Amino acid sequence: MTGTTERTPAAAPILELIGVSKQFSGIMAIHDVNLTVYPSEVTCLLGDNGAGKSTLIKIMSGVHQPSAGQIRIDGRRTVLSSPRVAQGFGIGTVHQDDGNLPLMSVARNFFLGREPVKGWGPVRRIDKRTATEVTMREIAALGITRVTDPNQPVGALSGGERQALAISRALYFGARLLILDEPTSALGVREAGVVLRLIRQAKSRGVAIVFITHNAHHAMSVGDRFTVLIQGEVAEQFRRGERIKEELLNLMAGGRELESMQAALEEMHEEASPTQVAGAASTTIGES
């Protein structure tokens, strides 16, 4: 975190990656990555396809172990040997496919694998009343009001609502650090807006968020810290307001200021900005 540490954050970091590298059969997927994640902040992880974002989140969520470097949680060196261990530390991951089963009901999805039960022996059964009450309460708390029937199949929900369900589930089961893998990439403009709003809400609850995206607009509208990965290495790390959008886009495109690419991107912003990120699009990165 060079150049940013002097701005003392309000709280101690939840998670620190120090010099983390990962090799897969000789190929370096990520190299010497330092990343610090604070509570009540949105840490954006940006980069093009193949930049190493997925590897990095798999390390943070316990799927992979780093080949070198260390992970610290609450300041203590920790080994995240499995996703379950990571969950035990309060690290909740919402994958891009949102993990919901479309033909199962909202409440059943919410509690899948962690069903509340009552009774004992052969009459041990799912406590459906608790399941539906908690599900509806948690969803409503995130402002998702269209989902009013806990018995509705998840397949009838929109992509944004499904992401919201997954996020509220992770938060309910104790996530202090929420890793969101491309939660907005498959969504339309309005739906992405809903998910971005949820990210802000989770942040206001004191949750640390790692937000993976390759959409610079989405990153800028919610991000507090930004880490740009290029070919497995940290290309740049900065805080909100320290870069303008064009710089970010250039970084994400590989740092090369190709004139033609620039022009093409400009065109895209012109089209996207009126509907999507009206404020943040033109000037600095959303210094609000």
Partner 1 sequence: MNPKSTARPADQPTVPSAQADIPLRDTQHPPARQPGKAVTVRPGQDPPGARLLKEAPVLLQRLMRAPELGVAVAAIVIFVFFAIVGGSKGFLSLTATASWLNTAAQLGIIAIPLGLLMISGSFDLSIGSMVGAGSVTVGIVTGYEHQSLWLALVIAAGIAVLVGLGNGLLVTRTALPSFIVSLGANLIVAGLGLTVALQMTGTTAIPVTASGFAADLFDSKWHQLSVSTFWWLGIAVAAAWVLAHTRFGNWITATGGDPEKARRAGVLTGRVTITLFIFTALSSAFVGVLQAVQYTSGDPTTGQNYVFQAAIVVVIGGVLISGGYGTILGVVLGTLVYGIVNGGLFYTGWNTNYTEVLIGLLMIVAVLTNSFLRRLALSATKKGVTR
Binding site for partner 1 (CB under 8 A): 83-84, 95, 97, 99-105, 108, 112-115, 117, 124-126, 128-129, 132-133, 136-137, 140, 143, 145-146, 148-153, 155-161, 187-188, 190-191
Q: State the DSSP code for 21.
A: E
Closer residue to partner 1 in complex, CB, 184/227 = 184
Task: Give the nearer residue to partner 1 in terms of CB position, either 154 or 228.
Answer: 154
**Closest separation between CB of residue 233 and partner 1, Å?**
29
Compute the least distance from the CB of residue 263 to partner 1, in Å.
31
Q: How far is the CB of 159 from partner 1 (least distance, A)?
A: 7
Q: Pick the closer one to partner 1 by CB: 101 or 278.
A: 101
Q: Are 56 and 30 in contact (CB under 8 A)?
A: yes
CB 207 within 8 A of CB 168: no
275 Cβ neighbours under 8 A, 6+ residues apart? 189
Collect all residues with Cβ–Cβ distance below 8 Å to 24 and sequence separation of at least 6.
Answer: none
For residue 132, how many other CB atoms are within 10 A of its CB? 19
Pairing of strands 233-239, 125-126: unpaired
State the minimum distance, in angstroms, from the CB of residue 88 to partner 1: 12
Least separation in angstroms between residue 59's CB and partner 1 is 17
CA triple 197-202-207, angle to 5 deg: 150
Rounded CA separation 132/25 (Å): 46
| Dihedral sign for Cα atoms in the order 277, 281, 284, 285 | positive
